[in-house]
Structure 1
Amino acid sequence: MNRGLFLFASVTGFLAVALGAFGAHGLKNLVSAEMVSVFKLAVEYQFYHTFALLAVALAWPFIASRLLTWAAGFFIVGMALFSGSLYALVMTGAKWWGPVTPLGGTCLLLGWLLLGAAVWRSRVVDGK
Structure 2
Amino acid sequence: MPPGWRFRACAPSRRSIPEVDRVLVSVGAFAALLGVAMGAFAAHGLESRLLDLGYAEVFETAVRYHMWHALGLILIGALHKQRPTLYLAWAGWLMAFGVVLFSGSLYILALSGETGWGAVAPIGGTAFLMAWLLVALGVLLPSDLSDV
Q: Same fold (TM over 0.5)?
A: yes
Distance 2:104 2:45 in 1: 18
Percent sequence identity over matched residues?
A: 36
Distance 2:63 2:142 in 1: 32
Structure 2 portions without partners, runs of 5+: 1-19, 144-148
The match for 2:40 among 8, 11, 21 is: 21
Contact 1:63 1:122 in 2 (8 A): no
Distance 1:13 1:61 in 2: 20
RMSD: 1.7
Structure index of larger Rg: 2
Distance 1:122 1:90 in 2: 43
Partner in structure 2 of residue 31 of structure 1:
50
TM-score by length of 1: 0.90
Deviations 1:49-91, CA, capped at 9 Å, x for gaps: 0111111111112212111111001101111110000000011
TM-score by length of 2: 0.78
Q: Secondary structure at the match of 2:50?
A: coil
Deviates most, 32-41 or 90-99: 32-41
> Which amino acid in structure 2 is aligned with residue 24 of structure 1?
A
Structure 1 portions without partners, runs of 5+: 124-128
Distance 1:62 1:13 in 2: 22
Distance 1:31 1:49 in 2: 23
Partner in structure 1 of residue 79 of structure 2:
59
Distance 1:17 1:39 in 2: 13
Deviation at 1:92, TM superposition (A): 1.1
